[in-house]
Amino acid sequence: MSGPSLKQLHAHHAIHAGALAGAIAKTEQLKQFILDRNQEQIKNAVYDLIDYWETRIISHADAEEEEDGFYEEILEWKPQLKDEVTALKRDHTILRIITQEIRDIMVQDGYTDNVLDKFLALIIVNEIHSRDEERILLED
């Protein structure tokens, strides 16, 4: 069963906004390290960002999707939202895929500009997802 904060628009929005703000701040820090051309700081910042996405944003997604979690509860109340919930789950999958692609690039090639592009894509997908989730599932 999901916690009460997931069911309240203002609280759920605060979770989304806080997590996204942290991801943006860490991405801006990465950009600065890239400008400074400090390879060690770049590498550390990338892995810190991967960890952040996995522990703050993807773990939130996992909690929403778990058995007896937020999405299942929503569907019990509003079964007509099945297609919308499926789309929101797909957004979560995209976040997981992109995060894993970043990890794979770092292992295979080290930092490339494609890594920053993928972090920026994560931000965009997450912004759209959070806005849609709040509108579809929590607004009256």
Angle between helices 39-52 and 9-36 (to 10 degrees): 170
Place of tokens 């904060």: 5
| Residue environment code for 40-53, b if the CB has 16+ CB neighbours within 10 A, otherwise e | eebeebbeebbebb
Looking at residues 123-133, what average pLDDT do you find?
Answer: 97
Of 4-13, 25-34, 83-92, the poorest mean pLDDT is in 4-13
17: domain CATH number is: 1.20.120
Looking at residues 117-124, what average pLDDT do you find?
Answer: 98
Instruction: Determine contact, residues 26/48, Cβ cutoff 8 Å.
Output: yes
Which domain covers residue 16, as residue numbers?
A: 4-138
Q: Which two tokens stand for residue 44?
A: 């550390």
Looking at residues 54-65, what average pLDDT do you find?
Answer: 96
pTM for this structure? Answer: 0.92
Looking at residue 11, its pLDDT comes to: 85
Q: Count how many domains the chain has.
A: 1
pLDDT digits (tens, 9 = 90+) for 37-57: 999 999 999 999 999 999 999
